[in-house]
Structure 1
Amino acid sequence: MNGVLNNPYNEILFNNSSKIEGRIRNFLHVGTRSSKGTWDLLFAFHKIVFKYPKAILTIIGSGSELDSLKSYVRANGLSNNVLFSGAVDENEMSYLMSIHQYVVVPSKVDEAFGLVVIEGLASGCRVICSDDGGLPEALGGMGLVFHKGNLEELQTLLENALDNVKNYSQDETTTIKKHLANYKSDSVVKNYLSVFEKK
């Protein structure tokens, strides 16, 4: 842990163990801003669609750049490959994660903590994220990391992900559960109390 007091994830909603190989969509991304790496992901994904014409990327969120993202998708014939879900609540987020194989977090800002990374792991997804801020720590060594802003690395990871879709092994599942325990509500409360007791 990095000493930062993080908020817990909702372990009731984000708790899925369905097999990755049976999920109907490929990549899920939360965000619609350049700072979240949304454009980087879209550009990298566009390059691999020629090789993987059935690949699907779902983008969650709203905001000022959403119309431009949608225009790019339409202009480049990607409407069957890139789906926009708009803003969603936790229940819908949980459902969307449960039908995707990968959560992609290509953020380019200094993220103090990656809650989406934790939620993705808890939902049984494999996670691809940038090396930005606290994202690698949230990942806990249980996913793939690339240098933020490096589209070639991101494109390679997306291609490798589609070429090697596989379920978590029992050992991986056990390791992830131990890692996620640090971010459950009871553990977070204990961390807060220990900080206050030291003051």
Structure 2
Amino acid sequence: MPPRIRVTLLHNFYRGVLPSGEDLNVREHQSLVGDGAVIDIVQTGNNYVVAHPIRGRARAVAAALDLGSASSRYADEVIARRPDVVHIENLTPLIPESVVALLHERGLPLVRRWGNYRFRCPSGDNFRNGERCEDCSGRLGTLPSVIHGCYGSGRGPSAVVALRRGLVAPSLTRLRHLPISRFLAVELEASGVRADQITVIPNCVPFSSLPPEPFSRRGAGRVLFLGSLLEKKGIRTLLEAWKLLAAGAPGMELTFLGDGPLRPEVEQAARDDSRITFTPTVPYEQARLEIHRSDVVVVPSEWDEPFGRVVIEAFAEGTPVVVSDRAALPELLGESCGRTFIPGDAVDLARQLAAVLAADDAQRREMAEATQMRHRDHFSPEAVRSLWLSAYQGVIADAG
């Protein structure tokens, strides 16, 4: 058996009760790579900023301006672990971007997973005022994000984050970029990364541990939205579609599982319609159970989702999806795994949800089998493990 690859993973954890997709990926990475590698994490987290506002913000400013010894301190801590390869995840806002070049200068092979657009957009989502935004891709650099107050609570935090931009640096020959979707790979190329420095490695989730659910009767069903209650997630479009979909269908249910700024609107909708339920954040295992119990999972996003973890969680549970025909979401689907709809179009969303829910038992079994096969072949730990080990081995070999 070949020796295990020693990987040091550098990550700035996000804040919040429900872990982000990136945080979940980091926490699950050791089990993902299995016996092929041993993962050692060097970390910090945004909860430090919450617990210590003054010191935390000062650290964020210092990281953005590359002041003090933070960069060399993180580099020294990584090097002390004696890794074969360094795996970079999220660095914003407390880890200086310069640590990437510093580790490269010290001869370490590097991979960097991209799960957002922070290589060119300070807020990471390319979204503002209800539509795609590329203002920071022009000659003014990230200045527009400061003017618009895109990050955090306004122009102050935006100015701090605008000073840093995710390092894509084609000159760093021992750095391989690992976006989580083909869509994100195209965006990286548009930002100056060479195609031969990019390898797409999708997210993955565990297989279901739950027994199959009995199929609901045709014409009724359980619709689930799981995610942050944000404008860009298409919450209002979903609520409008629900009115069209559920008219005269007392057996239908719509469940919102998540939290966010649009919570009051969802809570009001639940008060107005007893078929709508709202549940704030729950543990991951409970979320998987809710997906398993649902007849369809809906992802009505109106921004450029770089992946869509809830889609592959639905596949693992044998649940079909209806997703926006936008960004990376359509590329996740396979035949009989679900449907797409026109983003922001409540009528089309209601139509596609109705089509999935109206399927007969044979069609539902076909969708369940197709979604689970899609997960097994493309988004299971077994399917993705070899991609990660190959990426690690490749960058080590390239470094000589």
Q: TM-score range by the shorter chain?
A: 0.7 to 0.9
Letter in 2 for 1:94: R
Contact 2:205 2:380 in 1 (8 A): yes
- RMSD across aligned C-alpha pairs, in angstroms? 2.5
Which structure 2 residues correspond to residues 39-188 of structure 1 after superposition, within 5 A? Answer: 39-74=236-271, 77-78=272-273, 80-141=274-335, 142-166=337-361, 168=363, 172-181=367-376, 182-188=378-384
Change (3 A) 1:172 1:64: closer
Percent of pairs with identical residues: 26
**Aligned equivalents of 1:69 and 1:173: distance in 2?**
29
Deviations 1:95-116 (A, max 9, x none): 1122211111111111111211
Query: What is the TM-score normalised by the length of structure 1?
Result: 0.84
Query: How far does residue 146 in structure 1 lie from its aligned partner after superposition?
Result: 0.9
2:215 corresponds to 1:20: yes
3-state SS of paired residue (2:245): helix
Aligned-pair distance for 1:6?
Answer: 2.4
Kept after mapping to 1: 8 A contact 2:242/2:350: yes
The CA distance in 2 between the partners of 1:171 and 1:161, in whole Å, is 12
What is the TM-score normalised by the length of structure 2? 0.45
From 178, 181, 204, the counterpart of 1:8: 204
Task: Say whether the 8 Å CA contact 1:57–1:81 is kept in structure 2.
Answer: yes
Which amino acid is 1:192 matched to? W
State the shift of 1:20 in Å: 2.6
Distance 1:170 1:157, change over 3 A: closer
Q: Distance in 1 between matches of 2:391 and 2:367?
A: 31
Q: CA deviation at 1:10?
A: 2.0
The structure that has the greater radius of gyration is 2
Distance 1:176 1:196, change over 3 A: same
Structure 2 runs not aligned, ≥5 long: 1-180, 183-198, 396-400
The one-letter code sitting in structure 1 at the alignment partner of 2:300 is: P
CA distance in 2, matches of 1:149, 1:196: 40
